[in-house]
Amino acid sequence: MEGSLLSYKMKRLILSASLLSCAMMYPQYSMAVEEFIQEQKTTSFGQTIPRIGSCELNPFTSAITSPQSICISDHVLGHYKIFGDANQMLKVILHKVDDVPQGIFFSPKGRLTNNLGDDISAPISGATTWIQIGSDGVLNIYVGGTLTLTQVQNSSTAIVLQYNIEFNLP
C-alpha cells in the first residue's frame, strides 16, 4: 500500500514537471487587444451666420465662444473612445483640418481621460500627447477646438467636422 502511494506521488510529480517543461517550451502569449476607436459624438459647431470669423469650443467645459458671433446654436463637443489593453501607453495626435477651397479651418483641442484619474489637455493640433489607457481598457477623448471661417458660408450652414485622430503604441 505504501509503495503504491509513493508511486502515485511520483507519477504526479513527473506529470507536474512535464507540464512545466511544456509550458517553458511553448509559452502561452497573452491575448493582446488591437486598439480601436469608436465615435460617441461628432464635433459640431452648429448653425453659423454668413460672416468671416472664428469660434472656440472648450473641450473641458463644452462652452463655445464666438467673438464675431458666427456660431449661434446647437454645438456638440466631440467624444471618442479608444479601446485597448489595460494600462497600455498611447501617443495621441489630433490633426487639423485645412479646407482651403471652402474657407474652413479647424484646429482641434482635446481632453484625454481614463479611469486612473488622468485628465490631460491636448491643446495644440498636430502635437503628440502621451497617456495611458485606463485599467478598464478605455481612453476617452473629448474634442473641441477653434473653427476659423475665411470665406462667408451659406446662411443655412451647419459646421460638422471630420478630422483624424492618430493613436499609436510607443
Q: Who has greater pLDDT, 87 or 15?
A: 87
Whether residue 133 is found in the same domain as residue 74: yes
Whether residue 1 is found in the same domain as residue 84: no
Inter-CA distances, 163 with 8, 93, 139, 144, Å: 67, 11, 18, 11
Kindly report the pTM of this predicted structure: 0.79
At residue 16, does pLDDT exceed 70?
A: no
- pLDDT exceeding 70 applies to what percent of the chain? 80
Residue 32: the pLDDT is: 64
Residue labelled with grid coordinates 494600462: 87
Domain holding 161, by residue range, is 36-168
Report the SS3 class of residue 21: helix
At residue 155, does pLDDT exceed 50?
A: yes
Please, which pLDDT band fits residue 9 given cuts at 50, 70 and 90? very low
DSSP letter, residue 101: T
**Mean pLDDT confidence for 149-153:** 90
Structurally, the chain folds into a number of domains equal to 2
Whether residue 25 is found in the same domain as residue 43: no
Whether residue 69 is found in the same domain as residue 152: yes
Whether residue 5 is found in the same domain as residue 79: no
CATH number of domain containing 102: 2.60.40
At residue 116, does pLDDT exceed 90?
A: yes
For residue 17, which amino acid is it?
A
Whether residue 125 is found in the same domain as residue 61: yes
Residue 83: the pLDDT is: 97
48-57, 114-123, 141-150, range with the lowest pLDDT:
48-57
Residue 72: the pLDDT is: 86
Residue 38: the pLDDT is: 97
Assess contact for 54 and 68: CB atoms under 8 A: yes
Residue 27: the pLDDT is: 41
